[in-house]
Amino acid sequence: MNSPLVAEKTAVNFIMLKVLAALLPAIAAYVYFFGPAILVSIALASVTALASEAAVLHLRHYPLRVYLTDGSALVTAWLLALSIPPLAPWWLIVVGTLFAILVAKHLYGGLGNNLFNPAMVGFAALMISFPSHMTHWTAPDVLAHSHWSFAQQMDFMFGGISPADSKLDAVTMATPLDTLKTQLHLERTVAEIQSSPIFSTLSGKGTEIIALLYLLGGLFLWQQRIISWHIPASFLAAMFGLAGLFYLYDPVHYASPLFHLFAGGTMLGAFFIATDYVTSPTTPLGKLIFGAGIGVCAYVIRVLGGYPDGIAFAVLFLNSAVPLIDAYTQPRVFGHAGKWFNGRKE
């Protein structure tokens, strides 16, 4: 027995459960706009994550009960499921989740030791290995040429069978970000492109509401002191600022900064992915640098790069810089002279 003898009740799994809870409103909107297939994806990812996590914990002689209930594998699973197209074949989400848990998390030492965000590693692996599957996004029900029932969606996910009267193309479409990029290459203006029915006030029909609910969930996490404001704020500010500069320079060929904030994975990335404790910096200044770096990289990749969105690669890129950022942004210690920015000499 050693002091302190008292402790706060908050445990790791309590934090992880709050993160999952904060995702629920956006998931509900997802179901509303795109049908219940996303729930199957999430369930599939969750089961795969827990099973693979349990297998590794067993091999590593870790106590299953404590580690399996820490909730971290579930967070990875949910974030990955929410990042990939909901009508993707079942094996896609399984392969992605396995890669995230086995390679990105446990090969690095398990909970607390991984350098890269597991969900984003899984996403990147899928994006590079199966690019065509990763770009078939479901169209919102209001826009789809034909409506698939839940049973038909399941037939497609698990058997690859499209209903007799409609092909996959009939229920999917490119995302607003993707559409914008490909159409811009066809020499059309932003205004022309955004007059298409898939666009709405902020970004895409349906997706903008989901993005708003991610923002809401993120604010809940901030209010609950699960995440600090530094990363989301600097992330969004950097993306808004950079997009704003391009927009002011040439509004005909660059979408508005507001569009970029609510399109693609910006909100999910800013509040739920970049804020992952394990793979983000620990110092306040470091968090600001990290978030801003992601915002800039993500914008550059999504606007100038070859991929439809850049959040995952931006996050992974900045993940690799975290040890460096931490080492050079150590705050001043009580009673020590020093500047606000206090780089450490090796």
Between 252 and 281, how does the x/- string for binding to other proteins read (CB under 8 A)? -------------------------xx-x-
- Contact (Cβ atoms closer than 8 angstroms) between residue 313 and residue 297: yes
User: Is residue 59 part of the contact set for other proteins (CB under 8 A)?
Assistant: no
Which stretch in 1-9, 36-44, 182-190, 266-274 sits in contact with other proteins by CB under 8 A? 1-9
Binding to other proteins (CB under 8 A) within 315-344 occurs at: 326, 330-337, 344
* Chosen residue from 282, 304, 320, 341 binding other proteins by CB under 8 A: 282
Least CB distance to other proteins at residue 337 (A): 8
* Chosen residue from 43, 66, 161, 324 binding other proteins by CB under 8 A: 66
User: Is residue 178 part of the contact set for other proteins (CB under 8 A)?
Assistant: no
The Cα-based distances of 244 to 187, 259, 296 in angstroms read: 21, 10, 12
35's tokens: 């049908």
**What is the DSSP secondary-structure string of 102-144?**
IIIIITTTSTTT-SS-HHHHHHHHHHHH-TTGGG-EEPPTTT-
Residues 6+ apart with CB under 8 A from 304: none
User: Is residue 107 part of the contact set for other proteins (CB under 8 A)?
Assistant: no
Q: Is the peptide bond between 197 and the residue preceding it cis, with omega within 30 degrees of 0?
A: no
Name the strand (E) or helix (H) holding 173. strand 172-173
User: Is residue 245 part of the contact set for other proteins (CB under 8 A)?
Assistant: no
Name the strand (E) or helix (H) holding 172. strand 172-173
Between 198 and 237, how does the x/- string for binding to other proteins read (CB under 8 A)? ------------------------------x---------
| SS3 state of residue 40 | helix
Which residues make up the interface to other proteins (CB under 8 A)?
Answer: 1-8, 10-12, 14-15, 63, 66-67, 70, 72, 109-113, 228, 277-278, 280, 282-283, 326, 330-337, 344
